[in-house]
Amino acid sequence: MASPDPQRTVAVIGAGAAGLLAALSAARGGAEVVLIERTRDGGRKILISGGGRCNILPGVAQPERYVTDSSPNTLRKILRSWPLAEQRAFFERELAMPLELEPETGKLFPSSHRARDVRDMLVRRVREARAKIWFDAAVADIRPSDWGWEVELEGAPSLQATRVILATGGLSVPKTGSDGRGLHIAEALGHTMHPTYPALTPLTASPHPHAHLAGISRTVTIRSHDTKPTFTTTDGFLFTHDGWSGPSVLDASHLAIRGRAGGARQDLLVQWTEHDADAWTSLLKMSRGMVRSMVGAALPRRLTDQLLSEADVDGTTALSQLRKADRRAVVDVLTRYPIPWTGDAGYKKAEVTGGGVALSEIDPITMESRRCPGLHLCGEILDAFGPIGGHNFLWAWATGRAAGAHAAAGVTN
């Protein structure tokens, strides 16, 4: 591995979404860029995103739905640095990658619907910008040096660089190469770390009371119970063999996980249909026939039978004979059903890592560390994540681009 001129070198550690954009932006900004990636090909989370189709961006940006323990104002300032419309134009014009909106989900996908095309195009553009990519190269540590930074590599000579960009990701989906090393490096350099946890991950139960419902999917609304601010999401819900998944569950999972870590159970309440409590109360009062038939017209029969059983209501009861207390019990399981979770699928299936480097210690314009001049941080290593639907790529692209462009400015000016 031949080392470039240290005085003009920007070392980018991690070739995921944020790291690839950082390397491309830095190289286009005139820096000599070395992109260091521990896997043999990089971008592995890109490859598995969207079921292999790569949900590259959301159709509509929703900054209010991001989660952070840092300042929400700082988070929004970072997102505004590269708005959604400009990001879409970048992929479509500069990368020649047309995007298509999937109407039923509101997500943007590459027209080829191949995640590999996204990863390969980014790698190609990085190389065309004359950046060096060192695959199968693991970073052991980084430390300040006379040149700026020394990047210590495992089994290879160290690299000297004026600026370093940490784009190592977090702890989620470890099979893609995420091992949290960048988080440890940032902490060792003195950064304040908000506790990390698996986010956007399925919820589980042992024993699982709904194993016999595996495969049933619905569009539901999930609400948090007694949280500030209140949380509501409407999206897909899937019963699995060991718990519950789907976008709605993933988006709400951080509430359960963080509540459990704090010693308190967080109830997540499901509304199974578009009807709220008042609507169901009216329907049950004014309709004819049996309870089971009425509810079964809106829900799969297996789910109907399970909910009525948990409400302790005989499904063959005529609606005209339904007691007030039983009607209330039916309405509750239909509109305020607490998911009986006992655990979660952890980092193995988590889409992202919650927590990370405090945003207060990062310049929101340049992504440069306020504690370590010449060090920039981007992507999942930072204390922020968004909901399912391309929002975490939006964050990765925005922070990676800013880090790369400003790191380059620091070595070329």
One-letter amino acid for residue 286 of the chain: M
What was the pLDDT predicted at 265?
A: 84
Phi, psi of 217 (to 5 degrees): -125, 150
Cα–Cα distance measured from residue 115 to residue 50, given in angstroms and rounded to the nearest whole number: 8
- Beta strand 163-166 with 375-377: parallel, antiparallel or unpaired? parallel
What was the pLDDT predicted at 337?
A: 98
Please tell me whether residue 6 adopts helix, strand or coil conformation.
Answer: helix
Q: Within the chain, which residue ranges are assigned CATH 3.50.50.60?
A: 6-197+355-412
What was the pLDDT predicted at 2?
A: 53
User: Which of 385-404 are b and which e, b meaning 16 or more Cβ less than 10 Å from the residue's Cβ?
Assistant: bbbbbbbbbbbbbbbbbbbb
Per-residue tokens: 344: 């979660």
What is 6-197+355-412's CATH number, 1.10.3720.10, 3.40.50.300, 3.30.70.890, 3.50.50.60?
Answer: 3.50.50.60
Tokens 């240290």 found at: 6
Half-sphere exposure for 11 (CA within 13 Å, toward CB): 33
pTM tops 0.85, yes or no:
yes
What was the pLDDT predicted at 264?
A: 78
Half-sphere exposure for 6 (CA within 13 Å, toward CB): 12
User: Does 202-345 carry CATH code 2.40.30.10?
Assistant: yes
In Å, how far are 5, 20, 357 from 140, measured between CA atoms? 21, 20, 19
Q: Within the chain, which residue ranges are assigned CATH 2.40.30.10?
A: 202-345
**Contact call for residues 68 and 357 (beta carbons, < 8 A):** no
Radius of gyration of the chain (CA): 24
- Beta strand 268-271 with 139-144: parallel, antiparallel or unpaired? unpaired
Whether the upstream peptide bond of residue 198 has omega within 30° of 0, thus cis, is: no
Question: Tens digit of pLDDT per residue, the chain (413 long)?
Answer: 455 788 899 999 999 999 999 999 999 999 999 999 999 999 999 999 999 999 999 999 999 999 999 999 999 999 999 999 999 999 999 999 999 999 988 999 999 999 999 999 999 999 999 999 999 999 999 999 988 999 999 999 999 999 999 999 999 999 999 999 999 999 999 999 999 999 999 999 999 999 999 999 999 999 997 777 789 999 999 999 999 999 999 999 999 999 876 677 889 999 999 999 999 999 999 999 999 999 999 999 999 999 999 999 999 999 999 999 999 999 999 999 999 999 999 999 999 999 999 999 999 999 999 999 999 999 999 999 999 999 999 999 999 999 999 999 999 87
**Contact call for residues 291 and 307 (beta carbons, < 8 A):** no
Say which DSSP state 90 is in: I
**Contact call for residues 243 and 205 (beta carbons, < 8 A):** yes
What was the pLDDT predicted at 226?
A: 74
One-letter amino acid for residue 331 of the chain: V
Nearest to 399 by CA among 169, 89, 58: 169
- Beta strand 99-102 with 107-110: parallel, antiparallel or unpaired? antiparallel
78-83 CB contacts, 8 Å cutoff, 24+ apart: 78/359, 78/364, 78/367, 78/384, 78/395, 78/398, 78/399, 78/402, 79/394, 79/395, 79/398, 81/364, 81/365, 81/398, 81/402, 82/397, 82/398, 82/401, 82/402
Residues in the chain: 413
